[in-house]
Amino acid sequence: MQDHINRRDWLKSGALGALGLSLTTTWELAQAETGFSPAEIIKLSGNENPYGPAKSAQKAIVEALMKSNRYASEDDLIQLIAKREKVAPECIVLGAGSSELLYLIANLYGRGKSVVLPEITFFGFVKFCQVLGAKIQKVPMSAQMEIDLKAMEKNIQTDTGLVFVANPNNPTGTILPSTDLKEFCLQAAQKTIVFVDEAYIEFAQSAYYGSMIDLVRQNHNVIITRTFSKIYGLAGLRIGYLLAKPEIAKQIREIRIGLPNVLGLAAAVATYNDYSFLDMVKQKNEEVKAYFTKELDKMKMAYLPDPTNFLYVNVNEDANNFRQKLQQQNILITTRESSTWARITVGTKEEMTKLASAMQKMKS
């Protein structure tokens, strides 16, 4: 009989087990259910950047290792963001990915109140609101499966603590014209806090599809979140940030639990202005997405046009069944209950070729 137990086993069976928690990851679940090792699994479920991190970030991570005995300093990254976005440093709050910030926002403005959001939107934020006891007001999508801003505004009541819009939206990938969204935000912000998640905005920047950062500069009740997890390729290092007027930012900063990690901050600083890397990611993403949409056309599968690094695809059957069949072929995608639509991350050309082949076999 072993007279010792390793730390991971202890956490699983002991302290965390007593709390009903688990350290089992998506990778481990997939391995257990399919028999494939993590190296063999094609992960198209998290919208990560398959090309990152950038060499500039890799170098910064190595150099920062020797500083990891000290608590992190946020100043360099905050100053970079403030300079580009033309806001005061007091308007910026960093977090462990944008997920931590989403939770803090839901906690501060949604707990025990009404939260208005689209019927199909980022499930993680919906879950945070539910856990915190918010009353969820889901607004049906338009006929084109887009966010219906007029209907959203009509659902704002006196007890509404927060209005949530992801732009581009996740999982549909649809994006709102900046003029329409700006008009909505200006109206809604007179009644409550408006939260715009811009996790994928770097894939969609143009005069037509713009950020709501102007509203923060103008001191409106608007919060914007962004992340280094997507185009920057730093998902595992957990760095995100929000932008809001100083009063709102201060409220959120005061309930934050800790600081972002040293390695993530160093990588974010190094890659924030690495435009050659960002342009490469966008170019490859568009090339591979163009290839895969042609394959979807051949299979007569509908999808929503979007500027992001994922696609929302009608798989013409129960999406959960479709996902499970792909999982048996070591491919992971994301689905939701009672739907024929699946969210598929745009991976590398090799990964999407394997996915297209698997989908063709499933149809035959």
Q: What tokens were used for 88?
A: 């005061």
**CB neighbours of residue 93 within 10 Å:** 26
In this structure, are residues 346 and 295 in contact, taking their beta carbons and an 8 Å threshold?
A: no
In this structure, are residues 252 and 103 in contact, taking their beta carbons and an 8 Å threshold?
A: no
**CB neighbours of residue 341 within 10 Å:** 19
The terminus-to-terminus CA distance of the chain in angstroms comes to 52
Query: In this structure, are strands 222-227 and 240-243 parallel, antiparallel, or unpaired?
Result: antiparallel
Helices H / strands E in the chain, number of each: 15, 12
Running along the chain, 364 residues long, what does each successive block of 10 average in pLDDT?
Answer: 37 34 38 53 95 95 92 94 97 95 96 96 95 96 95 96 97 94 98 97 82 97 97 96 98 91 96 95 97 97 94 96 95 93 97 97 84
* pLDDT score for 206: 76
Q: Which of 122, 146, 123 is nearest to 304 (CA)?
A: 146
Q: What tokens were used for 231?
A: 């185009």
The torsion angles phi and psi of 47, rounded to 5 degrees, stand at 60, 30
Helix (H) or strand (E) holding 331: strand 331-332
Q: What tokens were used for 3?
A: 């007279």
CA quadruple 290, 295, 298, 304: dihedral sign: negative
Task: Tell me, letter by letter, the H, E, C secondary structure of 248-261.
Answer: HHHHHHHCCCCCCC
Domains, the chain, with CATH or none: 24-52+276-363 (3.90.1150.10), 55-271 (3.40.640.10)
* pLDDT score for 3: 37
In this structure, are residues 267 and 49 in contact, taking their beta carbons and an 8 Å threshold?
A: no
Query: Whole-structure pTM over 0.85, yes or no?
Result: yes
Q: Which of 227, 173, 224, 171 is nearest to 199 (CA)?
A: 227
Q: Please, where are the H alpha helices in 35-94?
A: 55-64, 75-85
CA quadruple 296, 203, 264, 53: dihedral sign: positive
pLDDT per residue over 24-68, tens digit each?
334 344 444 545 555 678 999 999 999 989 999 999 999 999 989
Region of 108 (left: φ > 0; alpha: ψ -120 to 50; beta: rest) is alpha
Report how far residue 304's alpha carbon sits from residue 283's, in angstroms, rounded to the nearest whole number: 20
